[in-house]
Structure 1
Amino acid sequence: MMRSLFTAATGMESQQITIDTISNNLANVNTTAFKRSRANFHDLLYQTLRAPGQSSTAGTVVPSGIQIGAGSKVSSVEKMFNEGAIRITNKPTDLMIEGEGFFRIQKDDGSIAYTRDGSFRIDNTGRIVTSDGFPLVPVITVPERVPHNKIHIGMDGNVSARIADQTEELGQILLANFVNPTGLDAQGRNLFGATPASGAPIVAEPNTQGFGRIGQGELEGSNVNIVEEMVNMISGQRAYEINSKVIQTGDQMLQQTNNIR
């Protein structure tokens, strides 16, 4: 009798994580280049009362066994890296990766992080940086004499500026990609870190095989689908309620057993 209580409790815990995941997705529906998460589940161990294929007393093989499950558990919460919608901004330092790849960012501790958020700015030293001041890798510096509206960034990541009817090359943006992007470590601030699960970063120029192209004056929106998240939230809520009902039913059955005279 008590088995059903513990089994339903694992279901409630699993659905709680589902709702937590959905709430984070919805909270970031307007976050630039945000990638939604999805909770995955697997069933727990089974108590085998009779193994499938076991011989019966009559010498025959039973076609099915008796195995009682112990509930469910979250197996992973993975990032979904499908591309978000395009937002046109016409700002020269707003960049979007149209396809696969990540911008490389150098953090304050010198480590390299990876992001799809291309809402860059130019700091007081002329470097192209993120909203938190982290520079692109390799560092690209815009001379003070260059107006921001004269900066041109090609689909291949080549950064140049038009100065007095002459074109000056400022640098080259390189992208990174991974064998398993879902294995990246989400660090917040739209940044990801490489892990043994993601594999080592593969660095190459944009608009080459396996890498997207750069779109200037564009930003990638969140890939959260509000309708889909709402449907998943309702489904998770109902599953949570059903599991709580199982606990109530198990409690009532125990109460009936306790009242036997």
Structure 2
Amino acid sequence: MLRGLYTAASGMIAQQRKHDTVTNNIANINTPGFKQGTGISRSFPEMLIERIRSGGAPGEPPTARVGRLTTGVMAEENVSVHAQGDIQETQNPYDFALISDIQVPGATFDASGKYVDADGQRVIQPQAFFTVLNANGEQRYSLNGKFTVDVNGNLITSEGNRVAGRDGQPIVLIDPTTQAPITNFRISKSGLFTNRDGQPIMGANNQPLNLLISRVEDPNQLVREGNGLYRLNADNATQVQPVGLNDQVEVRQGYIERSNVDAGQSMVDMMSALRAYEANQKVVQFYDKSMEKAVNDVGRI
């Protein structure tokens, strides 16, 4: 009897996690560069049920196979959907949007950025990210291009993380003559900073300032850290490299990438998770009443 109780309870936990994922998507519907998450559920490993025989004929095995049994469902992981979000114009010179359509030879990606070849091998479309430095100087990846400049001329995110240049160092937009932050600048499609005359803006090492746009081979390997930041585990660090000249990646100044969350579908998914949770809850209540009757009524007889 308890087997069904555990199965229903596992279903409640899985639907609760799915509900949390959907509500997080809805909460970030206006967050620039946010990629919606999709909860993936799977069943627990099957168990082989056998019945122990007693008093069987000589030579018979001591057990008889009954069959296989699944013991419930589990929320395995939360996978991000890296589809391109809508591009919104802001006319703010410190706002940047990435338009990425990196191709892999022999692969034709669908709208979700996935391709399955004739042998069933799955190929994920690489994605481009801004590279930022956290408080410890470690590289992180983001699609939220709503930047600003602090009093020292550092190009920073809204959370204060410094934006990295192609040399891996923070980008500093400071006028060497006046020591004031540079506000009158342009940025090319490749991420090169120039003045109004089209001349490159030089950094402290006398090299042109250029955004470090990172190409992540498999964006599903990224781990969310919060505040729009992603990281890669040390084992997957080789999957990141600067975008190449042939990669179809474009930086647009004065624009931001909106969240790719589908509000209508998210509301449907949230209600579906709630109804499934309630259905499993009814099953738990049924088992609770059955055990109560077995203990209080049947035991009295």
TM-score computed with the length of structure 1 as normaliser: 0.85
Q: Distance in 2 between matches of 1:240 and 1:197?
A: 37
Alignment-mate amino acid for residue 224 of structure 2: A
CA distance in 2, matches of 1:196, 1:75: 22
Number of the residue aligned with 1:133:
160
RMSD: 2.4
Give the secondary-structure state (helix, strand or coil) at the position aligned to 1:22: helix
Rounded Cα–Cα distance in structure 2 between residues aligned with 1:84 and 1:197: 29
Q: Tell me the amino acid that sits aligned with residue 233 of structure 2.
A: T
Q: For residue 109 of structure 1, what is the aligned residue in structure 2?
A: 136
Please name the residue that 2:148 is paired with: 121
Alignment partner, residue 242 of structure 2: 204
Q: 1:123: how far off?
A: 1.8
Amino acid corresponding to residue 138 of structure 2 in structure 1: S
Separation of aligned partners in 2, 1:217 and 1:110:
27
Once structures 1 and 2 are overlaid, which stretch shifts more, 135-144 or 80-89?
Answer: 135-144
User: Are residues 1:97 and 2:98 paired?
Assistant: yes
Structure 1: runs of 5 or more not aligned = 51-63
What is the percentage of aligned positions where both structures have the same residue? 27
TM-score (norm 2): 0.74
Task: Quickly say closer, same or farther: Cα 1:205–1:183, change in 2 above 3 A.
Answer: closer
Matched, 1:223 2:260: yes
Aligned equivalent of 1:74: 75
Aligned to 2:185: 151
What is the aligned partner in structure 1 of residue 42 from structure 2? 42
Amino acid corresponding to residue 34 of structure 2 in structure 1: F
Q: What amino acid maps onto 2:74 in structure 1?
A: K
Match of 2:213 in 1: 175
Counterpart-to-counterpart distance in 2, 1:130 and 1:47: 50
- Residues 211 and 106 (structure 1), Cα distance of their counterparts in 2 relative to 1, 3 Å cut: farther
Equivalent residues of 1:96, 1:219 under 8 A apart: yes
SS in 2 for 1:76: strand
Pick closer, same or farther for the CA change 1:70–1:212 going to 2, 3 Å.
Answer: same
**1:206-231 CA deviation, whole Å, 9 max, x = no partner?**
7x334521011100111111111111
Residues 147/257 of structure 1: CA separation in 2 closer, same or farther (3 Å cut): closer
Could you tell me how far apart the structure 1 residues matched to 2:235 and 2:74 are?
Answer: 21
Does the alignment pair 1:192 with 2:220?
no
Change (3 A) 1:106 1:119: same
Corresponding residue SS for 1:168 = coil
Amino acid of the structure 1 residue aligned with 2:49: L
Corresponding residue SS for 1:125:
coil
Mapped to 2, the partners of 1:128 and 1:246 lie a distance apart of: 55
Q: Using the alignment, how far apart are the partners of 2:269 and 2:19 within structure 1?
A: 8
Structure 2 partner of 1:57: none
CA distance in 2, matches of 1:204, 1:71: 44
C-alpha deviation, 1:133, in angstroms: 2.8
> Is the 8 Å Cα contact of residues 194 and 200 (structure 1) preserved in structure 2?
no
Closer, same or farther: CA 197–30 of 1 in aligned 2, 3 Å: farther
Of 204, 210, 214, the residue aligned with 2:251 is 214
Aligned residue number for residue 271 of structure 2: 234
Instruction: Return the alpha-carbon distance in structure 1 between the equivalents of residues 2 and 277 of structure 2.
Output: 19
CA distance in 2, matches of 1:217, 1:248: 56
**C-alpha displacement of 1:201:** 4.7
Q: How many angstroms apart in 1 are the aligned matches of 2:221 and 2:242?
A: 20
Q: 1:196 to 1:147 in 2, by over 3 A?
A: closer
2:198 corresponds to 1:161: no
Q: 1:134 deviation in Å?
A: 2.3
